[in-house]
Amino acid sequence: MAETESSEQPELSWLEGTVLPALEKSFPEEIVGCTTEVLDPWIEVRPESIASVCRFLRDDPEFHMDMLTNISAVDYFEPDPKKAKRFKYDPHLELVYHLWSTHSKRRLILKLMLPRWKNDQAGQLPEVPSVNSIWRTADWHEREIYDLMGIFFLGHPHLRRILCPEDWVGHPLRKDYEMPLEYHGIRNR
């Protein structure tokens, strides 16, 4: 099993040489940084400006990121106090936007960090602007994240649960989620 050779170097130089300077020029305050020493290099964006950065990346003829293929939400949290000692991350949520261009066939990853709860009050969902008006893919993806991970997308026209039933309580993909013992008379355990 040989190590894969670094065939993604042109992608990396494009990210560092073209995308990052252009973004930093247009959004000097909003770009937090760029992480390149990883498998999938990403650009970190401030949560409140994700929509304007995305709109720029879609509309700028140089980038033309016309497709949002995926949004992933990741909960960095370890509920088990024994395991939490080995857990290297501060508790937070991450949203990862995977963009793709049908013209240049290039991919780009944007990331943003969110607190697990708004104002550190358990139960209050963190908020982030919706990118639904930029790519329609985001409509269902954001609904799914709201449903399963509990992130509120500001400006989404009909943010409601998509996979779980409407009256479901809680957000199942949160690490501290506890399965209800009963749902409408159906016993779970």
Partner 1 sequence: MTMQADDPRLIEFDVRTDEMLVNMGPQHPSTHGVLRLVLRTDGEIVSETTPHIGYLHRCAEKIGENLTARQFIPYTDRMDYLAGMNMNLGWSLAVEKLLQMEIPEKGRHLRVMIVELNRIASHLLGMGAYGLDLGTFSPFLYAFREREKILDLFEAVCGARLTYSYLTIGGATHDLPPGWLQQCEAFLDQFEPNIEEYHTLLTTNQIFVKRTAGIGLLPAEMAISYGCTGPVLRGSGVDCDLRRDGEPIYTRMYEGYDFEIICERDGHYPDDYDYPPVPKEAQLGDCWHRFYVRMLEVVQSVSLIRQAMDKYSQTAGDYGIPVRFNHKLPAGEAYLETESSRGWMGFHIVSDGTAVPLRARARSGCFSNLSVIGEIGHGCLIADIPAIVGSLDLLMGEIDR
CA atoms of 172 and 123, how far apart (whole Å): 13
Instruction: Name residues whose C-beta falls within 8 Å of residue 69's C-beta, 6 or more positions apart in sequence.
Output: 98, 99, 100, 107, 137
User: Minimum CB separation from partner 1 for residue 46, in Å?
Assistant: 20
Distance in angstroms (rounded) separating the CA atoms of residues 41 and 11: 9
Query: Do residues 152 and 126 touch, judged by C-beta distance below 8 A?
Result: yes
Q: How far is the CB of 172 from partner 1 (least distance, A)?
A: 6
* Dihedral of alpha carbons 132, 138, 143, 147, sign: negative
8 Å CB contact between 35 and 71: no
Residue 24 or residue 161: which is nearer to partner 1 going by CB? 161
Cβ distance to partner 1 smaller for residue 154 or 163:
163
Q: How far is the CB of 87 from partner 1 (least distance, A)?
A: 7
* C-alpha neighbours within 13 Å on the C-beta side of residue 91: 15
List contacts with partner 1 (CB under 8 A): 1-4, 7-8, 38-40, 66-70, 72, 74-76, 87-89, 96, 98, 102, 105, 107, 109, 135-137, 139-140, 144, 148, 161-165, 172-173, 175
Instruction: Please state the closest distance from residue 63 (CB atom) to partner 1, in A.
Output: 14
Nearer of residues 48 and 104 to partner 1, judged by Cβ: 104
24 or 173: whose CB is closer to partner 1? 173
Q: How far is the CB of 45 from partner 1 (least distance, A)?
A: 17
